[in-house]
Amino acid sequence: MLVKFYLNDVEVSFDVAPNEYLAKTLRSHGIKSVKVGCNESSCGSCTLLIDGKPMMSCSILSASIEGKHITTIEGIQEEAAKIAHYFGEEGADQCGFCNVGLALTVYALKRELKNPSEEEINNYIVGNLCRCSGLQSQLKAIKAYLKEE
Amino acid sequence: MKVNEYYRPSSLEDAYHKLQEDPKNSLLAGGLWIKKMGLSVNCLIDLSTLGLNKISETKDEIIVGSMVTQRDFENSPIIKSLFNDSLAFAVREVMGVNFRNIATIGGSIMGRYTFSDVICGLLPYDVSLEFYPSQKMSLEDYLNYKGRLNAILVNIHIKKGNGKGYFKKVKTTALDFPILNVAISKVNGKYAVAVGSRPMVASLAHKAMDYLNKESKPDFNKAAELVLEELSCLDNMNASKEYRQDLTKVYVRRGLEEVSK
Ligand SMILES: Cc1cc2nc3c(=O)[nH]c(=O)nc-3n(C[C@H](O)[C@H](O)[C@H](O)COP(=O)(O)OP(=O)(O)OC[C@H]3O[C@@H](n4cnc5c(N)ncnc54)[C@H](O)[C@@H]3O)c2cc1C
Ligand code: FES
Ligand code: FES
């Protein structure tokens, strides 16, 4: 079936199978920044934004996103560079699988929560599982990014 | 997961007719559990375009559409204003934000999951379920209903009242399923106690509730003993029966103290 949606503000239409998930659709159309880690709705590496909200793209059926706005890291390049800068400064950057999903989650956090407490930040990012580089350095980087106007 | 067809119904009636056409047709809410089970489905009937994603209130009750996501539920000022925000606590610890933006309240109830935070958290309140075609039953009756109810959950009605609530999810790591859930309310002076993930679908502890509501100064330790007399705990790979019993005693007492402050 044909599904039409906005990918980083550009209208696209893709032919998808009824059991096809969004991560697969995007990857098969060249959006390789969307990473599939667990494929079990658990790790969050496949996170992207649907109508501005972070969601796991390995678990959203492509057929169900008709008319919606999908944002991948390509759609927020300037902000992604800022997030990368703060993560780099704190030595908090992750591997190629985890970075993208976490960056999109942090981007959404900044837009959804005003002056979040440390606990609120932790609760917001807990769905992006790997903390190889350590939670403390990530927290510092996120706080610095949130402070930026 | 095998799916032959994806269907976007134009109305509840249309969705219901499609559901009746084939026993292998299934309603689709957030789709997370459907994916997890990896079932073979003939037709997935997507409920997302039927306007069931709103939370509203009347003088007496709060009405939650079955397609309201867990995240919208926990953030709703209407939900937060009730029972010291304890209803929202029942979903706040389910996985992460990127999960709760997908999972729905309706899908969480209809599955009658043995590990459900959502069901346990709603159970000690006056909650009824409105189905299409026209049918209404209490949450407790739905949990005890034998067999599969081949109807569409439309709204969840939560009766307003004055009082407090308590919710505890015991889990090993942040994204785990619960080892035990305890939810307690004291609304309009009456106690209700629910325990879930024992690991069985949550139940109300009626014996303990009768005792608590009869006595003018109830002994909370005795109430916790009565909970264990009525609701059994079992072993599974996450925790032993004895551990769950010990947790039940502690958290039931603490919850009762909390709602009585
Ligand atoms: C990895 C993972 C971890 C989880 N961890 C937890 C946890 O720790 N605590 C917890 O409480 N829950 C947990 N859950 C369950 C989760 O919170 C949701 O309850 C579950 O995913 C169902 O919600 P859904 O919207 O995805 O429903 P779906 O998967 O779309 O549907 C579930 C079932 O309900 C039926 N259904 C859906 N909506 C309706 C309706 N309106 N009327 C009639 N039938 C309907 C569907 O046909 C299907 O049979 C977990 C689930 C997963 C996949
Ligand atoms: S790949 Fe989607 S949650 Fe892990
Ligand atoms: S697995 Fe990616 S940073 Fe740990």
Per residue in A7-50, pLDDT (tens digit) is: 999 999 999 999 999 999 999 999 999 999 999 999 999 999 99
The answer to whether the Cα torsion of B36, B204, B158, B76 is positive or negative is: negative
CATH number of the domain encompassing residue A137: 1.10.150.120
Of the bound ligands, which one is closest to the alpha carbon of residue A93? 3
Strand partners, B171: none
The first and second tokens of residue A94, run together, are 């992750």
C-beta separation of A53 from B71 below 8 A: yes
Q: What is the pLDDT of residue B148?
A: 86
Contact B98 A47 (CB under 8 A): yes
Distance A84 CA to ligand 3 centre (A): 15
Residues B202-260 have pLDDT tens digits of: 999 999 999 999 999 999 999 999 999 999 999 999 999 999 999 999 999 999 999 99
Residue B98 near chain A (CB below 8 Å): yes
| A34 near B CB under 8 A | no
What are the structure tokens assigned to B26, written together?
Answer: 């299934």
Residue B43, CA distances (Å) to A102, B5, B24, B132, B150 in order: 34, 5, 7, 19, 15
* Host domain of residue B103: 55-159
User: Does the beta carbon of A1 lie under 8 angstroms from any beta carbon of chain B?
Assistant: yes
pLDDT < 50 stretches in chain B: none
Residues A26 and A40 in one domain: yes
Q: What are phi and psi of A4, to 5 degrees?
A: -115, 130
CATH code, domain carrying A6: 3.10.20.30
* Nearest chain B CA: its distance from A114 CA (Å): 14
| DSSP label at residue B239 | B
Whether the predicted model's global pTM rises above the 0.80 cut:
yes
CA atoms of B46 and B53, how far apart (whole Å): 13
Atom of ligand 3 nearest to the CA of A133: 3
Residue A103 lies in domain: 76-147
Look up the CATH number of the domain holding residue B243.
3.30.390.50
Res B39: pLDDT: 86
Distance of CA A45 to the CA centre of its chain: 7
Q: What is the mean pLDDT of chain A?
A: 96
On whether any CB of chain A is under 8 Å from the CB of B48, the answer is yes
For residues A49 and A90, membership in a common domain is answered with no
Q: Output helix, strand, coil percentages for chain B, rounded to the nearest 5.
A: 40, 30, 35
Chain B CB contacts of A125 under 8 Å are: 96
Asked whether residue B41 falls in the same domain as residue B94, the answer is no
Contact B85, B45 (CB under 8 A): no
Task: Judge whether A64 is closer than 8 Å to chain B, CB to CB.
Answer: yes
The per-residue pLDDT for B147 is 87
Query: Is the Cβ pair B96, A18 closer than 8 Å?
Result: no
Compare all CA atoms of chain B with the CA of A126 and give the residue at the minimum distance.
Answer: B96
Domain final position from A22, A52, A74: A74
If one counts the domains in chain A, the total is: 2
pLDDT < 50 stretches in chain A: none
The reported pLDDT for the residue numbered A134 is 83
pLDDT of B233: 97
Which protein residue's CA is at the shortest distance from atom 41 of ligand 1? Answer: B153
How far apart are the C-alpha atoms of B241 and B179, rounded to whole Å?
10
Of B133, B159, B185, the residue at which a domain comes to its end is: B159
Minimum-distance ligand to the CA of A92?
3
CA of B243 to the centre of ligand 1 (A): 27
Q: Are B65 and B53 in contact (CB under 8 A)?
A: yes
What is the identity of the amino acid at A127? Answer: G
Q: Considering just the CA atoms, what is the radius of gyration of chain B in Å?
A: 19
Domain closes at, from A41, A74, A107: A74
Strand spans (E) along A33-117 = 47-50, 53-56, 69-71
Same domain flag for A114 and A134: yes
Q: Is the ipTM of this complex over 0.90?
A: yes
In chain B, positions 58-87, which contact chain A (CB-CB < 8 Å)?
71
